[in-house]
A = this chain, B = another copy of it.
Amino acid sequence: MSNQHEDQARASIENAKSLVIDSIAETMDLYGVTRSAGNLYGTMYFEEDMTLDEMREKLGMSKPSMSTGVKKLQDYNIVKQTFRKGTRRQTFVAEKDFFQFFANFFSKMWIREAKINLGAIHKAQQELNELIEDPEVDEVLKNEAVLIDRQMEASKPYYHWLQKLVSSIESGEIFDVLPIEDEEK
């Protein structure tokens, strides 16, 4: 059975994991993922597939919290539902390859960013152009509108570049350019 050494050793292992789980949660926090979702991800990172009840137990939180937490992580594309045979419960597994994490997470963000902003720019430019083409409008104002229109236009290449960046991540092309190195000496 358990002796003192064993208990202590087990505590050490848990502590080591906690250090990394906390830092994962902290960095995810940087990107706007709530601490508790980050904590859940970090926990799942060290586990195989988990049921909601297993998460609840590990984190000492309620089941609805786990349910919503997992959903959030699924939205970020970094947790997936799995099928564990023999149980009727849903099981979930965290993406453990951080390169894949990076790809899934940031691709999602950047695609969204491009879409939202290009959409807004489109609408804004429509409004500005109506004004620019209106012969009734004062020259000074027209000029102002033209400048703003240009500023918006000038930002478009950025969003297109983001889209290209995502493509190159999704195709894996980026890793030809910036290769993953096995280990630094």
Interface residues of A (CB under 8 A from B): 5-6, 9-10, 12-13, 15-17, 19-20, 22-24, 26-27, 29-33, 46, 96, 98-99, 102, 109, 112-113, 116-117, 119-121, 123-125, 127-128, 130-131, 134, 136-138, 141, 144-145, 148, 151-152, 155-158, 160-162, 164-165, 168, 174, 177-178, 180-184
Contact = CB atoms under 8 A, between A and B. Distances in A.
Nearest to A29: B32
Given A22-B120, A124-B19, A141-B13, A182 B157 contact: yes
A130 B12 contact: yes
A148 B21 CA distance: 12
Give the copy number. Answer: 2
B9 A141 contact: yes
B157 A15 contact: no
Nearest to A182: B157
Contacts of A29: 32
| Majority-rule SS of A interface residues | helix
Contact of A152 (B10, B20, B22, B141): B20
A20 B6 CA distance: 60
A168 B109 CA distance: 21
